[in-house]
Amino acid sequence: MNKIPVIIDCDPGVDDTLALMLAHQMEELDIKAITTVAGNAPIAYTFRNGRNVMDYIGAQVPVYKGAEKPLLRTLQTAAHIHGEDGMGGVVLPASKQSVESEAAWDAIHRIAAEEKGELTLIAVGPMTNIAIALSKYEDMKDLIKRIVIMGGAAIGGNVTPCAEFNIYEDPEAAEMMFTSGIPVYMCGLDVTMEAYMSRAEIEKLMALGSKEAKLFHDVEQKALAFYDEMGRPGVALHDPTAVLFAAYPELFQGEWCGVHVETKGKITSGKTVTDLYSDKQFDTHNTFIVTKVDREAFVQKIFDLMANY
């Protein structure tokens, strides 16, 4: 099998942690690097968490530190879901790996060039590192095969009624990404809110018995309580949706369309405006919006992957 070379850009983050654990078990993916960005928690925590999680699961993958704030705006974290330090109250042993000094955006460019245009970028945090790489390197847009994101929503929002966190945090960066010309596969709230696991399913997964299965369970408890309060049937696995889409697109459905990001709105800032449900009159249609998931198959795949720990 030809493995897909990927970089996962993330802001761990409890669901980012699940995404990293799942991606590590996917034989379809060849993880070249993890790059971290401020978002769910400050960069000091997201970088530390990325290093600690990869070390904890035994992944020999370099982790790079990225942007400590959005391009133009002030950082807004999400402690109500992720806790102050981004790990939902879970404490992992400190990574013993040497600390990478190369900046995330430089690593993205270097590895994309090494992979000769075959690299998939999986972005599950604010798009700040991607925007900096696009801005710093003229050839960046020609070196990335596709970008698979967790972010946005054709309908709805989770930070405001019309904006999802990763886009809301850095809308200017997101607009740079959507208009770069690189094909974007957008796993937004339209699909991630249906890609959930119930409390009972997560308890059943923990019974797999590995330390990773226990970490999967433990980091999600704060988020589960939040979704319980919202009366939802389970916790949305936002970031795992993006990594599973990258490796198993057959579990999903979607459509090509155009997307632009509102950066000037007062109450609409961060909205991913799409012509998916209108007259398709946007200038380009290089975004595939993922709209549906086979949830049973999605959950089964998660069990299958986690059973390998």
The residues binding ligand RIB (CB under 6 A) are 11, 13, 15-16, 39-40, 78, 124-125, 150, 158, 164-166, 238-239
165 binds, among ligand RIB, Ca ion, none (CB under 5 to 8 A by kind): ligand RIB
Burial of 145 (0-12, 13-18, 19+ CB in 10 A): middle
- Selected range binding Ca ion among 11-19, 45-53, 60-68, 115-123, rule: CB under 5 A: 11-19
DSSP tag of 123: E
Place of tokens 């998939």: 120
- What letter represents residue 48's amino acid? R
- DSSP of 135-192, one letter per residue? HH-TTHHHHEEEEEEE---SS--SSBTTB-HHHHH-HHHHHHHHTSSS-EEEE-HHHH
Contacts of Ca ion in 16-35 (CB under 5 A): 16
106 binds, among ligand RIB, Ca ion, none (CB under 5 to 8 A by kind): none
β-strand partners of 273:
260
DSSP H or E stretch at residue 121: strand 119-123
Residues 61, 63, 92, 124: which binds Ca ion (CB under 5 A)?
Answer: 124
- Please say which residue, 39 or 143, places its beta carbon nearer to ligand RIB: 39
β-strand partners of 272:
261
Minimum gap (Å) between residue 277 Cβ and ligand RIB: 21
Residues 5, 13, 66, 157: which binds Ca ion (CB under 5 A)?
Answer: 13
- Please say which residue, 57 or 143, places its beta carbon nearer to ligand RIB: 57
| Contact present, 274 and 257 (Cβ < 8 Å) | yes
Minimum gap (Å) between residue 164 Cβ and ligand RIB: 5
- Please say which residue, 92 or 223, places its beta carbon nearer to ligand RIB: 223
Residues 42, 66, 70, 125: which binds Ca ion (CB under 5 A)?
Answer: 125
164 binds, among ligand RIB, Ca ion, none (CB under 5 to 8 A by kind): ligand RIB
Helix or strand or coil: residue 215? Answer: helix
The catalytic residue among 24, 82, 217, 238 is: 238
DSSP H or E stretch at residue 72: none
Burial of 250 (0-12, 13-18, 19+ CB in 10 A): exposed
Tell me, yes or no, if 260 is annotated catalytic: no
DSSP tag of 235: E
User: Any contact of residue 62 with Ca ion (CB under 5 A)?
Assistant: no
9 binds, among Ca ion, ligand RIB, none (CB under 5 to 8 A by kind): none
Provide the annotated active-site residues. 238
Binding site for Ca ion (CB under 5 A): 11, 13, 16, 124-125, 239
